[in-house]
Homo-oligomer: A and B are copies of this chain.
Amino acid sequence: MSVPKIETIEAWKALLTTSRLLIEKVEDSLAASSLPSLAWYDTLLEIEKAGKEGIRPYKLKERLLLPQYGTSRLLGRILTAGLIEKHDCDEDGRGFVVRITSRGRQLRRKMWRVYANALCTGLEGPLTVGELKLLVDLMQKTRPA
């Protein structure tokens, strides 16, 4: 069918490799501090941002780009760890709402210190502000439906 240009292939390889290496770097930093993974961080952050109201799992899965069952089980683990709480939902008897606990907030903050540090050395170090903006622009142009 289609034959990609050499530039396309190079861009794809570069994107794949660098994003994987960066993610690994961040995950390694977290693990080195005996902290949970990026997935937990993202989840805690979204839930924290939802505030007192909490957030429904089906909303969460859209924001986190996770499959439904993945979200269900991830929330289960985070719940077991005491970082969030589940509350029955008044408007919808099928579902519920999750809220962050103070332990959750605390852990998220702790993770952020490590995470932020990794981002500084991994992204902010090698790139200028202009390049960072350029990257955002390219990524947004590329984002599929």
Query: How many angstroms between the C-alpha atoms of A127 and B143 in the bound complex?
Result: 10
Q: Report A15 CB to chain B, min CB distance, Å.
A: 6
A95-129: CB near B (< 8 Å → 1, else 0) gives 00000000000000000010011011111101101
A131 CB, min distance to chain B CBs, angstroms: 6
B21 touches A135 (CB 8 A): no
A129 proximity list for chain B (CB < 8 A): 5, 7
B144 contacts A122, C-beta separation under 8 Å: yes
Task: Tell me the dominant secondary structure on chain A's binding face.
Answer: helix
Q: When each residue 5-24 of chain A gets 1 if its CB lies under 8 Å from chain B and 0 otherwise, what string results?
A: 10111111011111111111
CB distance from A16 to the nearest CB of B (A): 7
Report whether A119 and B18 are in contact in the complex, using a CB–CB cutoff of 8 Å.
no
Determine if A4 is an interface residue (Cβ-Cβ < 8 Å).
Answer: yes
Q: Are A11 and B127 in contact (CB under 8 A)?
A: yes
Q: Are A143 and B18 in contact (CB under 8 A)?
A: yes
CA distance A131 to B5 in the complex (A): 13
- Give Cα A10 to B129, complex, Å: 11
